[in-house]
Structure 1
Amino acid sequence: MIRLDDLALFVRTAALGSFTRAAREADLLPGQVSAAIQRLERELDIRLFARSTRSLRLTAEGEQYLPYAREVLATLEEGRDRVHGDKNELGGVLQIAAPSDVGRNVLLPWITEFRKAHPKLALRLFVSDFVTDIFRDPVDVAIRYGSTQDASYISLPLAPENRRVLVASPAYLEKHGYPRKLEDLLHHQCLLYSLSGSVYNRWVFPDGNGQSDLLVSGNFVCDDGDLVRRWAVAGQGIAYKSWLDVCEDVRAGRLKVLLPEQPGEAAPLNLICPHRKQFVPAIRQLHELLRKRCAALSAEQASYNFNGKPAASAKNVKRR
C-alpha cells in the first residue's frame, strides 16, 4: 500500500532535485527520504529517479507519474479543508513570494489585513526581486510582474492593465527640467535596476509601430526595486516604474508622472500557483482580495491627470 508520506516526499524530491534538500525541508535524514522513495518504487513497480553520485533526475516513468502524485496530494488537502467546519475559517500555513517594492508598500497592509480576518491562518511572506521557482522553493503562491506564457503553472490576473510610468520628484525637475520627449531622457540621470548581474538600461515604450527602445544611463544602479523608487523620491533622478509601485507617491506629490501622453510598457501583475489543484480556499480568497484592491489602483491610473490632483472620476478612489 502506498504511504502518503512517501508520496509527499517524492513530490518534494522531484521539485528540489535532491534527497538531501528534501530531507532538510522535512526534518529527516537523507537516508530516510531515499528509503521512502524506494518503498514507493516497489509499490509502483517502476523506477522514479535515475541516481548517480552527482545527480538525481526523474526517469521517464517518474515524470509521467509526478502530476498524478501532485493531484492526489492536492485533492486530499482540499478534502481536509472542506471537512473542517466553516470553509471561511481558514487555517494552516500560506507561503507567499512577492517583489520587493509592491510587496512592501502595496501588498503588505492588504496581506496583514487578510491574516487578521483569518486568525487561524499562518502567513509566511518572502519579499525579494529574485524570481521564485514555485516548483522548487517552499512557497505556495508567487506574485509576479509580466506576461506569463508558461503553461506548467496557473496564472491568475491581479492587475492586468497595469503599466510602467516615468516619474521624478519635484525637486529633481526644478533643478534639471522636465523631459518633453522620450529622447530627452538621454540627457537626464536615470535610475537603473539590475537583476542577476544584468542592468536594465534599455527602457521600452509602445508606439504605433510596435515599440521604441531607449538606451538610458545613470550613476545609480540597484538590485532592489524599492530602493530605486526611494532614490526617485529623494530627487536623485528619473525612474521607470510600475504604476502600482509609485501611485501613492504620485498621489502625495512626492513624485510627478512625466510624459503622461506616452504609454508605458505593460506590467501586468499576476498571482502564480503551481497547479490548479493547489488553488485551495486560502489562495482563492487571497486572490479575490488582492484583485479587487489592485483594480481600484489600476482604475486610478487610467483617470489620473498627473498634474498633482486626481481627475474628477478618480477623486473617490482611495487605497484601503
Structure 2
Amino acid sequence: MKPTSTADLSLFLCIARHLNLSRAAVELGLTPSALSHALRQLEARLDVRLFNRTTRSVALTEAGERLHARLQPAFRDIADALEDLNSFRDKPSGNLRITAGRAAAELALLPLANRFLTAYPDVRLEIVSDDALVDMVGAGFDAGVRLGERLQADMVSLSLGPYLRSVVVGSPAFFERHPMPQHPQDVKGLPCIGHRFPSGTLYRWEFERGGIRLEVDVQGPLILGDVSLMLAPALQGLGLAYVFEDMAKPYLESGQLQQVLGDWCQYYPGLHLYYPSRRQVPAALKAFIEFVREHR
C-alpha cells in the first residue's frame, strides 16, 4: 500500500461527513470533479473502495465505515491538541460553525454576530440555516440553536434569551372577507398558511389556556417549509399565519397585521445554544458561549 497523507484522510472524512461530493467540495474549496479525482486516487493508493457512488447517492462501504470509525476520534484528538494552542493567544481564532433554523438565525444569532465578530476578529463564524435536526458532530458543527423543547438530552445548552410566543395573525383585508376566530377550533374553517417540517410532517397549531391544550390541523392554499416566509403571504391577505411574535411585531404595530386568539397563545421555552459535551470546548466556541452569557 502506498503512503497516504493526513490531507488525503481529511478529504475522506469530509466526504464521509456530507455523503455528498458537491457539498464536500464546497467545504474543501475544490470542484466536484477535482474532489472525485482525488478520491479515486486515494482509493487506488489504499487498494480498497471506500464509497459506493452513483449519480444520485454516496454511501460508505464496509471498509469505509471501519476507516471512518477509527479516524474520526483520532482527528478529533488532533483538533483538540491544536485548540490547546489557543490558550497562548491573546484572542481566540479559528472557525465556528453553527447550525440553526432560519427563524432562529434571524431572531437570535444575527443580532449577536456583528458584536461578537467585532470583539473576536480572528474568529470566522459560519451559520448554516437548516430547520432539520442534524447530527451535529457527524455534520461538522460546533454548536446549534434550537427551541429549548426540541433539544436532545445529551447536549449542553444555554438559553439565548427569554421565553418566546407564537401568535396567529392576519391582514385587515383578510378579516374584511373572513370572521375573526374566537376559539382555536374556528381556524379550521378559515384559509391558513401551513408549515411543513423537513421530516415531512405538517405542523399542528398549538394553543393553551387555563391548563387546556389544543392542537389544531389547519387547511389552506399555501404550505411553506420556513416560518419566516409566512409573513409575506399573510400581509397580502392570503390566509392566517402562525409565527413568532417578535417577527410579526413591526407589522402588528403598524396595523398591517392583526392578532387573534391572543389569550390562547402562551409563552414557551425560547431559543437555546447547544453543543456536545466534549473533553475540550474549542476556543472560538468557548468565547461565543461567554459572549452569549454577557449579552443575552
TM-score under structure 2 length normalisation: 0.71
In the TM superposition, 1:231-250 aligns within 5 A as 231-250=233-252
Counterpart amino acid of 1:30?
L
In the TM superposition, 1:108-123 aligns within 5 A as 108-123=110-125
* Contact persistence 2:209–2:266 (CA under 8 A): no
Give the Cα–Cα distance (whole angstroms) in 2 for the partners of residues 137 and 252 of structure 1: 42
Tell me: CA distance 1:111–1:155, structure 2 relative to 1, closer, same or farther (3 Å). Answer: same
* Contact persistence 1:157–1:268 (CA under 8 A): yes
Give the Cα–Cα distance (whole angstroms) in 2 for the partners of residues 174 and 291 of structure 1: 46
Give the Cα–Cα distance (whole angstroms) in 1 for the partners of residues 70 and 136 of structure 2: 19
Q: Which residue of 2 is the match for residue 149 of structure 1?
A: 152
Q: Is the aligned partner of 1:30 residue 2:39?
A: yes
Tell me: CA distance 1:102–1:205, structure 2 relative to 1, closer, same or farther (3 Å). Answer: same
Give the Cα–Cα distance (whole angstroms) in 1 for the partners of residues 209 and 92 of structure 2: 46
The secondary structure found in structure 2 opposite 1:166 is strand
In the TM superposition, 1:39-58 aligns within 5 A as 51=50, 53=52, 55-56=59-60
Tell me: CA distance 1:58–1:281, structure 2 relative to 1, closer, same or farther (3 Å). Answer: farther
Percentage identity across paired residues of the two chains: 27
Q: Could you list the runs of 5+ residues in structure 2 that have no partner in the other structure?
A: 54-58
Alpha-carbon displacement from aligned partner over 1:77-99 (angstroms, at most 9, x marks no partner)? 3202111x22xx23222233322
Q: Which residue of 1 is the match for residue 56 of structure 2?
A: none
Cα offset, 1:190, TM superposition: 1.1
Q: Is the aligned partner of 1:227 residue 2:236?
A: no
Cα offset, 1:193, TM superposition: 1.6
In the TM superposition, 1:146-185 aligns within 5 A as 146-149=149-152, 151=154, 153-159=155-161, 161-185=163-187
* Contact persistence 1:90–1:120 (CA under 8 A): yes
Alpha-carbon displacement from aligned partner over 1:97-122 (angstroms, at most 9, x marks no partner)? 32223424553232123223322222
Q: Is the aligned partner of 1:126 residue 2:128?
A: yes
Cα offset, 1:228, TM superposition: 0.7
Q: Is the aligned partner of 1:107 residue 2:137?
A: no
Q: Which residue of 2 is the match for residue 307 of structure 1?
A: none
Counterpart amino acid of 1:203?
W
Give the Cα–Cα distance (whole angstroms) in 2 for the partners of residues 284 and 114 of structure 1: 12
Alpha-carbon displacement from aligned partner over 1:12-60 (angstroms, at most 9, x marks no partner)? 4653458998687545611565589x6xxxxxxxxxx995756525779
Q: Which residue of 2 is the match for residue 93 of structure 1?
A: 95
* Contact persistence 1:167–1:258 (CA under 8 A): yes
Counterpart amino acid of 1:56?
L
Q: How many residues align?
A: 280
Q: Could you list the runs of 5+ residues in structure 1 that have no partner in the other structure?
A: 39-48, 296-320
CA RMSD of aligned residues (A): 4.2
Q: Which residue of 2 is the match for residue 80 of structure 1?
A: 85
In the TM superposition, 1:3-18 aligns within 5 A as 8=10, 12=14, 14-16=16-18
Q: Is the aligned partner of 1:216 residue 2:225?
A: no
Tell me: CA distance 1:24–1:245, structure 2 relative to 1, closer, same or farther (3 Å). Answer: closer
TM-score under structure 1 length normalisation: 0.66
Alpha-carbon displacement from aligned partner over 1:191-220 (angstroms, at most 9, x marks no partner)? 112244836252233467774221111112
Give the Cα–Cα distance (whole angstroms) in 2 for the partners of residues 101 and 172 of structure 1: 24
